[in-house]
């Protein structure tokens, strides 16, 4: 069973760009070919609603015209071509760490470079992986598949059946959309299974029950999808029978967000679960019996529920009282799953937050759970083991110890190598100037982690330093931000500075090395800042909830406070300060543009939400109402205060803007960026636009497209801010 309840995967569905943590990649998404959310009648006072016709001839012609203008302005110089080539070389580098996933005896990696634009799914042994230049066995060549099938498949992952690992369900997307197909693949023959399981293109998925049975949640026809465009029904499907004859397992309510099911194949703890996601941070988890009966795991809907072996873990987003003890929001609790299902409500708190700490994540191993705790946005790892024989007076049996031998600065991440088989974990470490390194640790031992691999230096980092500062927001809240600046920066306002932000969906902006930021910005002598504003998860649920719905303005006040702090430090000026963000961060950029135009010299707005009156009726927008509110109700009174499309004032002066989006984004509708561009263009504002014809919510389907869009953004910003 995937860690986390119904759907931390939904958090990924929300806005993938935030994970770039300021890497300035342009986001990833889904095509409008998937089942759309309900489309409402035209808005009478919106002259640009025709641009919501994603692939309409008139709209596409407009897109091509705008693209050509932007290309003519930004992409014709030798400097642009060199930057694009440099970024492409970084993305195509064969020296990067190949991230692996253990499947049976092999370690699998999905790899893209200049010779494999769509990628290779390949495998090796741990012995080989430890080498500087491992030997890989190709399992599936996606570029060759595309040539053979005359398709444009993009890899969406593999689910391989335990314990034999001979059959896999592979998800493939056309052009990078969230909508995808599922096909059955034989790992032994490395071929598609003839007449094997096949799920037609739609948003959804499927997973193994056993070698002849799967759970499938997808588009089954009218009424089977939620208003967000995700599955509302999950079925059990037997091999050799038509999908139409699959047996219904569960049907959600009409306004639910996502329904799914999975079998936990952990040895000795085989269980089936049904997930009902009602809205973000509001879900139910059900245990499915052999007779098909569903029993609710009676934990708070707001809690992230994780089952591993004998244990149930609850990551709280609200205070929770159990057996007379109240645990604060942000805590991580554990108990025995079977005892909980029998009515016992005794828990042990592995973590409780304070004003400086939050839980960034956790990973189960065979006999332990490893916690990643952020202290003022800096990572600390602790391993907890259950030892019932720890002696008299010890009620919990849980014993924790820090994971030693890992870097104390920057961002750490941890993940189990094989949670069924061992206590081994992968540990990666990075910061803005230090390439990612990968270590292998055994949390059952006291030995230091084994250093395995490190990414190369993609830019000259010796000229810069990393600092952490705190700005004071309008309501007095201290807002942390990271600053990467030249060592010789003068306090005369002369340094072009790029500020990145996100501020939503409890996503934390932690330090991350980006060759693109380094090559496109830092090497030119610029400074780079990342704001840890409210709406994110840097201080747990409280930080996120502080900027929800009617309090959304606090995220924007926080970002403005960081901008002002950078100028007050005399590092830069408002005219030399540029900003960039995508997806929910694109909404942030839109509000900076319309509410704080005087603070910035240039703005890049990537795959954004901008029309907050229409957002819930466009593609996956309905799934975000828990974050923003419902514009079709009284909520509109506060939503309109952060709807950039409606806040735009043709009489105001705005800084230069670049909008970047993707036609194939079936998560955040490209109509947001198109319409805002059209409105600003009609008012003769300094604005340009680029829309990639494929690429989904990330804006690009391959490295060449990513390099081009990143080069456009950095070229635009440098042109405007270095004047």
The pLDDT confidence band at residue 175, using thresholds 50, 70 and 90, is: confident
Whether 7 shows a pLDDT value over 50: the answer reads: no
Predicted pLDDT at 271: 97
Question: Per-residue pLDDT averaged across 153-181, rounded?
Answer: 95
pLDDT digit string, tens, across residues 567-603:
999 999 999 999 999 999 999 999 999 999 999 999 9
Tell me which residue has tokens 């830069």.
572
The pLDDT confidence band at residue 667, using thresholds 50, 70 and 90, is: confident
| pTM of structure | 0.86
411, β-bridge pairs: 430
Whether 388 shows a pLDDT value over 90: the answer reads: no
Angle between helices 78-92 and 703-721 (to 10 degrees): 140
The pLDDT confidence band at residue 10, using thresholds 50, 70 and 90, is: very low
Angle between helices 57-74 and 671-682 (to 10 degrees): 70
pLDDT digit string, tens, across residues 68-112:
999 999 999 999 999 999 999 999 888 999 999 999 999 999 999
Tokens coding 461:
């980092």
Tokens coding 488:
């010789």
What domains are there in the chain, each with its CATH number? 53-89+458-721 (3.40.50.1820), 354-457 (no CATH)
Q: What are the distances in angstroms from CA 714 to CA 22, 157, 496, 522, 592?
A: 13, 31, 12, 11, 19
Predicted pLDDT at 700: 53
pLDDT digit string, tens, across residues 480-534:
999 999 999 999 999 999 999 999 999 999 999 999 999 999 999 999 999 999 9
What is the secondary structure of 200-213 as a DSSP string? EEES-EEEEEETTE
Measured in residues, the chain has a length of: 723
pLDDT digit string, tens, across residues 690-702:
999 754 445 455 7
Instruction: List the single range of 14-28, 306-320, 579-593, 621-635 with lowest mean pLDDT.
Output: 14-28
375, β-bridge pairs: 357
For the chain, the average pLDDT equals 91
Whether 241 shows a pLDDT value over 50: the answer reads: yes
* Catalytic annotation, pick one of 464, 669, 697, 708: 697
Is-catalytic flag, 473?
Answer: no
Which contiguous run of DSSP H or E holds residue 714? helix 703-721
SS3 call for 599: helix
pLDDT digit string, tens, across residues 184-232:
999 999 999 999 999 999 999 999 999 999 999 999 999 999 998 999 9
What is the secondary structure of 294-341 as a DSSP string? EEE--S-TTSEEEEETTEEEEE-SS-EEETTEEE-TT-EEEEEHHHHH
Question: Per-residue pLDDT averaged across 391-402, rounded?
Answer: 72
The pLDDT confidence band at residue 41, using thresholds 50, 70 and 90, is: very low
The pLDDT confidence band at residue 664, using thresholds 50, 70 and 90, is: confident
Predicted pLDDT at 395: 56
The pLDDT confidence band at residue 613, using thresholds 50, 70 and 90, is: very high
* Catalytic annotation, pick one of 379, 583, 616, 623: 583
Predicted pLDDT at 408: 75
Predicted pLDDT at 540: 95
Predicted pLDDT at 44: 59
Q: What are the distances in angstroms from CA 43 to CA 155, 613, 666?
A: 37, 10, 21
Residue 565 · residue 581 · CB < 8 Å: no
**240: which DSSP letter?**
T
Pick the more confident residue, 212 or 409: 212
Whether 656 shows a pLDDT value over 70: the answer reads: yes
The whole-angstrom separation of Cα 383 and Cα 572 is 43
Pick the more confident residue, 27 or 665: 665
Alpha helix segments (H runs only) across 488-548: 515-520, 541-545
The share of the chain scoring above pLDDT 90, in percent, equals 85
Is-catalytic flag, 508?
Answer: no
Residue 216 · residue 246 · CB < 8 Å: yes
Question: Per-residue pLDDT averaged across 405-429, rounded?
Answer: 92
Q: Give the E-state strand segments of 503-620 in sequence order.
A: 527-531, 577-582, 602-606
The whole-angstrom separation of Cα 1 and Cα 312 is 12
Question: Per-residue pLDDT averaged across 631-643, rounded?
Answer: 98
123, β-bridge pairs: 108, 137
Q: Which among 159, 254, 140, 263 has a CA at the least distance from the CA of 209?
A: 263
């Amino acid at each position: 069973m995937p860690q986390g309840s119904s759907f931390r995967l939904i958090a990924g569905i929300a806005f993938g760009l935030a994970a770039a943590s300021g890497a300035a990649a342009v986001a990833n998404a889904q095509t409008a070919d998937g089942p759309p959310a309900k489309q409402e009648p035209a808005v009478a006072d919106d002259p640009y609603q025709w641009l919501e016709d994603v692939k309409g001839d008139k709209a596409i012609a407009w897109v091509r015209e705008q693209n050509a203008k932007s290309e003519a302005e930004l992409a014709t110089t030798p400097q642009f071509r060199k930057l694009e080539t440099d970024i492409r070389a970084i993305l195509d580098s064969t020296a990067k760490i190949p991230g692996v996933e253990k499947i049976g005896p092999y370690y699998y990696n999905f790899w893209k470079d200049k010779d494999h634009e769509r990628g290779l799914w390949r495998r090796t042994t741990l012995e080989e992986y430890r080498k500087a230049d491992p030997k890989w066995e190709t399992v599936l060549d996606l570029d060759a598949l595309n040539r053979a099938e005359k398709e444009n498949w993009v890899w969406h992952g593999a689910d391989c059946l335990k314990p034999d690992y001979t059959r896999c369900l592979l998800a493939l997307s056309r052009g990078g959309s969230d909508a995808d197909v599922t096909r059955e693949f034989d790992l032994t023959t490395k071929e598609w299974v003839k007449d094997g399981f096949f799920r037609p293109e739609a948003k959804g998925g499927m997973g193994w029950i056993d070698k002849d049975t799967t759970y499938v949640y997808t588009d089954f026809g009218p009424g089977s999808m939620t208003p967000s465009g995700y599955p509302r029904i999950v079925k059990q499907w037997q091999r050799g029978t038509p999908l139409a004859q699959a047996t219904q397992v569960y049907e959600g309510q009409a306004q639910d967000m996502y329904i799914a099911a999975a079998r936990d194949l952990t040895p000795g703890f085989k269980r089936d679960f049904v997930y009902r996601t009602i809205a973000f941070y509001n879900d139910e988890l059900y245990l499915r019996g052999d007779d098909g009966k569903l029993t609710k795991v009676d934990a708070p809907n707001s809690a992230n529920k994780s089952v591993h072996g004998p244990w149930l873990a609850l990551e709280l987003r609200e205070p929770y009282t159990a057996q007379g003890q109240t645990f604060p929001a942000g805590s991580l609790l554990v108990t025995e799953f079977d005892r909980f299902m029998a009515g016992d409500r005794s828990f042990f708190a592995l973590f409780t937050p304070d004003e400086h700490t939050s839980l960034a994540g956790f990973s189960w191993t065979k006999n332990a759970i490893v916690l990643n705790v952020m202290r003022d946005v800096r990572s600390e790892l602790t391993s907890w083991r259950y030892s019932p024989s720890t002696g008299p007076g010890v009620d919990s049996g849980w014993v924790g110890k820090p994971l030693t031998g890992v870097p104390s600065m920057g961002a750490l991440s941890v993940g189990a190598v094989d949670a069924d088989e061992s206590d081994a974990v992968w540990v990666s470490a990075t910061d803005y100037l230090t390439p990612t390194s990968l270590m292998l640790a055994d949390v059952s031992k006291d030995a230091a982690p084994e250093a395995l691999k490190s990414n190369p230096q993609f830019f000259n980092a010796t000229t810069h330093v990393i600092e952490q500062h705190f700005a004071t927001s309008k309501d007095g809240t201290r807002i942390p931000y990271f600053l990467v600046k030249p060592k010789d920066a003068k306090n005369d306002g002369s340094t072009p500075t790029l500020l990145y932000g996100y501020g939503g969906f409890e996503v934390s902006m932690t330090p991350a090395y980006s060759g693109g930021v380094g090559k496109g910005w830092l090497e030119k002598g610029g400074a780079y800042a990342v704001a840890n504003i409210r709406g994110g998860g840097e201080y747990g649920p409280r930080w996120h909830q502080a900027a929800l719905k009617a309090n959304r303005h606090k995220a924007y006040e926080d970002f403005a406070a960081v901008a002002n702090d950078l100028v007050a430090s005399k590092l830069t000026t408002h005219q030399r300060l540029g900003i960039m963000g995508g997806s929910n961060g694109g909404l942030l950029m839109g509000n900076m543009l319309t509410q704080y135009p005087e603070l910035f010299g240039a703005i890049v707005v990537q795959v954004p939400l901008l029309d907050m009156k229409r957002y819930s009726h466009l593609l996956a927008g309905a799934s975000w109402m828990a974050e923003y509110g419902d514009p079709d109700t009284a909520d509109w009174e506060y939503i309109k205060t952060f709807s950039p499309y409606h806040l735009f004032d043709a009489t105001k002066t705005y800084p230069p803007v670049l909008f970047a989006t993707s036609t194939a984004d079936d998560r955040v509708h490209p109509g947001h960026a198109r319409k805002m561009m059209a409105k600003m263009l009609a008012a003769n504002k300094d604005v340009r636009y680029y829309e990639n014809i494929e690429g989904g919510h990330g804006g690009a389907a391959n490295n060449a497209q990513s390099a081009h869009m990143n080069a456009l953004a950095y070229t635009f910003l440098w042109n405007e801010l270095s004047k």
